[in-house]
Amino acid sequence: MVMDALVGALAIIIFAVAAFAVLSFLYSLIKHATKFGLAVVANSLVGLLALALLKIIGVEVPITAPVIISIALFGLGGLGTILVLLFFGVHL
């Protein structure tokens, strides 16, 4: 009788520790994914704003699907790559 109660208590403790570990892992995963997602969105917005600023000051950057997608994915790095490609005569 006592042995069954100890085994049951041990099972509950093991389950609680495992549940805490899983919840801790999920919290960490969501925290890092949110931080990364916000950084990507911020970088994309800065890249698109820089593209708009370049259009305002007169730099001819074509507004095509590949240009917008690369700037939206890579932000200022994508815009810089597009500008270098345009400088070397690659038409997008």
Contact call for residues 75 and 43 (beta carbons, < 8 A) = yes
Residue 9 lies in a domain: yes
What is the number of structural domains in the chain? 1
Residue 42 lies in a domain: yes
Structure tokens at 39: 């950084």
pLDDT over threshold 70, residue 15 = yes
Residue 76 lies in a domain: yes
* Residue at token pair 């000051």: 57
- The whole-angstrom separation of Cα 75 and Cα 25 is 30
pLDDT above 90 coverage of the chain, percent: 70
Residue 20 lies in a domain: yes
Residue 32 lies in a domain: yes
- The whole-angstrom separation of Cα 10 and Cα 31 is 31
Residue 56 lies in a domain: yes
Structural domain range at position 51: 2-87
| pLDDT of amino acid 60 | 86
The 10s digit of each residue's pLDDT in 23-54 is 999 999 999 999 999 999 999 999 999 999 99
Instruction: Report the predicted TM-score, pTM, of the whole model to 2 decimal places.
Output: 0.67
Residue 73 lies in a domain: yes
User: In the structure, what pLDDT confidence band is assigned to residue 8 with cuts at 50, 70 and 90?
Assistant: confident
Residue 92 lies in a domain: no
pLDDT above 70 coverage of the chain, percent: 98
| pLDDT of amino acid 1 | 66
What's the first-to-final CA gap in the chain, in angstroms?
Answer: 78
